[in-house]
């Protein structure tokens, strides 16, 4: 496998994110800023001040992501769930608010039904 193929494979897989939650922007920022700043710190390894400043700059997104995770974990755990989970959870809550049966309903796979009620003013053929 050529290095160009490996990079292309990585970037195509990185574009496919299945779980979307509140931490995704911070995780992407960490994935870009941390290695870039460490690489820059390596190139400026002779300048002590700039080397440590770049390393500290790269550590900031990592620390912010970790702190944010623990804040969300204790204050609002639903923000750590995926969008799909939250949508299904909200659909189930709407069903229960309407005093639906307690049976589990799979909302996404359910076929739409058209129920026609007989007109109260019309005569039926049974009489």
**CA–centroid distance for 72 within its chain:** 13
Residues in the chain: 127
Residue at token pair 């039904």: 113
CA-based nearest residue to 67, from 98, 26, 100 = 26
pLDDT top residue among 105 and 13: 13
Residues 26, 65: contact at Cβ < 8 Å? yes
Q: What is the pLDDT of residues 61-88, one digit of tens each?
A: 999 999 988 988 888 877 777 777 778 8
pLDDT tens by residue, 16-58: 656 677 778 888 889 899 999 999 999 998 989 999 999 999 9
Helix/strand/coil (H, E, C) string of 88-119? HHHHHHHHHHCCCCCCCCCCCCCCCCCCCCCC
Nearest to 58, CA basis, from 35, 30, 40, 34:
34
How far CA 71 is from CA of 4, 68, 77, 120, 126, in Å, comes to 40, 5, 9, 58, 67
Q: Could you read off the pLDDT of 88-127 as tens digits, one per residue? A: 888 877 877 666 555 555 555 566 666 666 666 655 555 4
Rounded to 5 degrees, φ, ψ at 54 are: -70, -40
Residue 43: enclosing H or E segment and its boundaries? Answer: helix 24-43
CA nearest neighbour of 72 among 28, 20, 21:
21
């Amino acid at each position: 496998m050529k290095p160009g193929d490996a990079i292309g494979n990585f970037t195509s897989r990185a574009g496919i994110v299945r779980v979307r939650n509140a931490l995704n922007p911070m995780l992407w920022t960490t994935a870009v800023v941390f290695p870039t700043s460490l690489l820059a710190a390596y190139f400026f390894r002779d300048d002590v001040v700039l080397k440590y400043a770049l390393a500290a700059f790269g550590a900031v997104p990592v620390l912010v992501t970790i702190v944010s995770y623990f804040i969300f974990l204790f204050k609002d755990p639903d923000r750590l769930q995926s969008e799909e989970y939250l949508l299904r959870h909200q659909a189930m809550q709407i069903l229960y608010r309407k005093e639906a049966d307690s049976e589990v309903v799979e909302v996404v796979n359910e076929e739409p039904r058209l129920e026609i009620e007989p007109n109260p003013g019309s005569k039926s053929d049974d009489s």
